[in-house]
Homo-oligomer: A and B are copies of this chain.
Amino acid sequence: MNKSFQKIRNLTPAQAIAGYYFAAISISFILLRLPGVHQQGVEIPLIDTLFTAISAVSVTGLTVINISETYTVFGIVLIMFILQLGGIGIMSIGTFFWLLLGKRIGLRERQLIMVDHNQLSMSGVVKLIRNIISILLLIELVGAVILTLYFMQYYDTFSEALLQGVFASVTATTNGGFDITGASLVPYFNDYFVQVITMLLIILGAIGFPVLIELKEFISNKDKTFRFSLFTKITVSMFGILLAVGTLGILALESFKAFKGLSWHETLFAAIFHSVSSRSGGLVTFDITQFDEATNVFMSVLMFIGASPSSAGGGIRTTTLAIAILFLINFARSKNTIQIFSREIQLIDVFRSYAVIILATGMVIVSTMILFITEPEASAIEIIFEITSAFGTCGMSLGITDDLSSVGKFTIMVLMFIGRVGLISFLFTIGGKPDPTKFHYPKERVIIG
């Protein structure tokens, strides 16, 4: 007993993170097999329950089953709970319980949280976790109240409007991508109010907790010396650029194709919504299988990039792309430092971004090759879209999820898991103990590119 506790103590923070997520998936799996979870007469295979559990914990939203036709209200409430575990982060939940129990947070626990949200300063972690939970629950609550009241016009009973409103708020804020309408947000294609609220919630969930916390401090205006961190400046800028590029790209590719015959405002909203959703939200207002293959490839690239670190989103993350681009510009100019927003980027962060990009690209290529072989019925584009959607924990699909073979399902599950854990944590988990170089070989140059 004491020995196994000792073993846990010896895990690296990154290994512990992966272990916690693994535990959350196991618990979610058991919860989703409880009696009363499934509607009468519905039976689903164990692998599909596992798929749903991983999809919910990783807040991806890819599903092999139809949620509204499979689960009871009890089951749907459980899924919302699991989305909270994934969206807000098991680490912060765990810490929250430590706080509730009156225990002081130890160094080891601080370290765990530090890696999970990649926070780099050790101080203020406790405050941070409290902030994360309170801010996100507040956002979800406001969203749920607005949507429930608004949904009264759509649904006959208050309880039905409440269920729909709460679920819509939770799935948007946690970037969960699940739906209980049976058709994502397609029924609200002409309801711009629902779309605007949903987009706001998705962005708040995907922009990164540190941004929300700094925004709160900025608005409260207590600290006169307050300035936004470099992280916030970079991620918000990149997030905005990606939203703009996504919207313009979808407009250019679909205005005269899938959007032909739509009014200008329908076209504009459809383009903006799917650009926002491709960051990691995963909800759709339009039958995206009607999009051109070119648009599918374009959205695959957007999903691969994903959202901010320390958010409910996945992908390589906005900051990784930003640093890669900044590095390239400075390299071409033969500059030996990368400067942005009057700050200097550190070498270790350049290395991290390189590692994330190589590993992510390699994983996506290998997974794509696996599905190319195991899913002969699916088209190449459908597979590429599914893979990037899983890795970006986005959850949009061209409809092949429920036809996947067992190997295909396992591949997607692994991608969703790694996409949520984050590549840096994953890398240090598989990388094992640090192995410092003991001696040096002579250096020798190599011809590159």
Contacts and interface: CB of A to CB of B under 8 A. Distances in A.
Given A294-B380, A373-B252, A449-B353, A431 B332 contact: yes
Given A294-B380, A343-B444, 19 more contacts: A208-B447, A231-B446, A293-B380, A294-B372, A294-B373, A297-B380, A309-B449, A325-B362, A327-B354, A331-B352, A331-B355, A332-B428, A342-B441, A343-B443, A344-B441, A353-B448, A355-B449, A357-B358, A424-B449
Contacts of A334: 428, 431, 434-436
Nearest to A355: B331
Interface residues of A, number: 91
A436 B353 contact: no
A181 B250 CA distance: 43
Contact of A422 (B337, B380, B449): B449
A182 interface: no
Interface stretch (A94-102, A136-144, A313-321): A313-321
Interface of A: 117-120, 208, 210, 229-231, 234-235, 249, 252-253, 292-294, 296-298, 301, 309-310, 316-317, 319-320, 323-325, 327-328, 331-337, 339, 342-346, 348-360, 362, 365, 368-369, 372-373, 379-381, 383-384, 422-424, 427-428, 430-432, 434-437, 440-449
Contact of A293 (B379, B445, B446): B379
Given A296-B380, A333-B431, A339-B437, A443 B346 contact: yes
A106 to B, nearest CB: 23
B320 A449 contact: yes
A408 to B, nearest CB: 13
Contact of A343 (B117, B441, B447): B441
B297 A384 contact: yes
Given A384-B297, A448-B353, A249 B333 contact: no
A311 to B, nearest CB: 10
A118 B447 contact: yes
Contacts of A431: 331-334
Copy count, this protein chain? 2
A354 B354 contact: yes
Contacts of A320: 448-449
Nearest to A331: B355
Given A380-B293, A422-B449, A369 B298 contact: yes
A310 to B, nearest CB: 6
A448 to B, nearest CB: 4
A216 B342 CA distance: 53
Nearest to A372: B294
Nearest to A351: B331
A234 B446 CA distance: 9
B328 A447 contact: no
Contact of A230 (B294, B323, B446): B446
User: Which one of A317, A381, A383 has the highest number of Cβ atoms from chain B below 10 Å of its Cβ?
Assistant: A381
